[in-house]
Amino acid sequence: MSRSRSSRDKNVAQPLVSRTTRSWSSQTKHPNPAEPDESQQSLCRKMRRKRTASPLGQDLGQIGVNEQDVLYSSCSKEKKSRTSSDPLRATSSSLSSSQSGLSSVALLVKRGRCKKVVVVAGAGISTASGIPDFRTPGTGLYANLEKYNVPYPEAIFNIDYFSNDPQPFFSLAKFLYPGGHRPNYIHYFIRMLHHKGLLLRVYTQNIDGLEKLCGIPDEKLVEAHGSFATASCHLCHTPYPSEEAKCAIMSDNVPTCSFCAATVKPDVVFFGEDLPQKYFLHTKDFPKADLLIIMGTSLKIEPFASLVNTVGSSVPRLLLNRHAVGPFERVPLRRRDHMELGDLAETIRRFAEFLGWNGEIEEMMKDREALSIPAPVSISPQKDQTFNLSRKSEEAEPDSETDSKSSASSNASK
């Protein structure tokens, strides 16, 4: 695990305020202290009990959905099919376990049970925009770094390796710099949560800037691993004009600090570097959350990965991903955990349809895209460059924080 420079000498006194650095481990554990481990047999026994006495059970019972279907959708394959005279209950029982999880969480949102939604997002939300994720075999960024001759894939984002050889990262940065890709339906789904007044915060691992580009305001966004919006010296942290850094990198030059002559880089958080101060909003946000949506992430990068374990034990957690990750790998799932595995873009669209938001999201996408004036600028790739480096003009200024208020008038018109 990588360490910050200040912690390498054990004899140096530790600072009063602890520093949190980005690290990676393939053996990351995801403890779940709020929920005791239970055998599958005892959990299934609990599933058979009526829970209509709880407020959640009473609320959902009014619309024909038993609470155990909401809280234990992951085990529905092991339950016998149940019939009911209520049409909605009969329809719910015919859904698959994952579909039942999506519909159940959608019902909670529609009934007003979830008003402080926290979203945790990874690289998987940007693949539909043409940006590869990191770890998908064959297509991920880490699987296509042979030409950079790095000793291991993560080295391209390692601060010590960058100090010795910045060129591999700068070559990759040409592709990653914002402006060449557009937000997709998934990004606009997150913005719709804000538009509806439901988004407490979105925590993203991405450095592509697409969350901001689709109109999610800065105060609702935590870019936990930094961004390309600013640049500074990697050694003394002296600020450097971001546009000058971009021009140098695009021209295959190495920007250098005018103060100490060390290499300048975009303020992307590398392994071994401190996370931005805004990241620590999680200490207030996650205890407040009443719904956690996790999407498009491998949950392998710490400390970001452990955030999902800091919500209350009664808070529903919904994983939308290609594979089960982190605490969702345990069998059986924790109570109030749901997951839908498969293509993320299709899953989000289905979730939006359950919520009745699909038309609004598509209209939002059209309105947002109409604000930009396409002006593609070609950048000559290197002969061995495998990525498409065509770029477009920057977007117009993000919308103001009036989204959540304007939703009231649209709902009234319905």
**So which residues are the catalytic ones?**
225
Q: How many CB atoms lie within 10 A of CB 246?
A: 19
**Segment holding 36, helix H or strand E:** none
Rounded to whole angstroms, the Cα distance separating 1 from 21 reads: 10
For the chain, the C-alpha Rg in angstroms (whole number) is: 23
- Relative to beta strand 199-204, strand 264-268 is unpaired
Cα–Cα distances in Å, from 44 out to 89, 261, 409? 20, 63, 44
- Got the DSSP string for 57-103? HHHHHTTT--HHHHHTGGGGGGSPP---SSHHHHHHHTS-HHHHHHH
Tokens 């109570």 -> residue: 335
Residues placed in the known binding site for Zn(2+): 233, 236, 257, 260
Residues placed in the known binding site: 233, 236, 257, 260
Kindly report the three-state secondary structure assignment for every residue of 286-310: HHHCCEEEEECCCCCEECHHHHHHC
- Joined together, the tokens standing for residue 283 give 């200490």
DSSP 278: G
- Joined together, the tokens standing for residue 48 give 């058979």
Map residue 223 onto helix, strand or coil.
strand
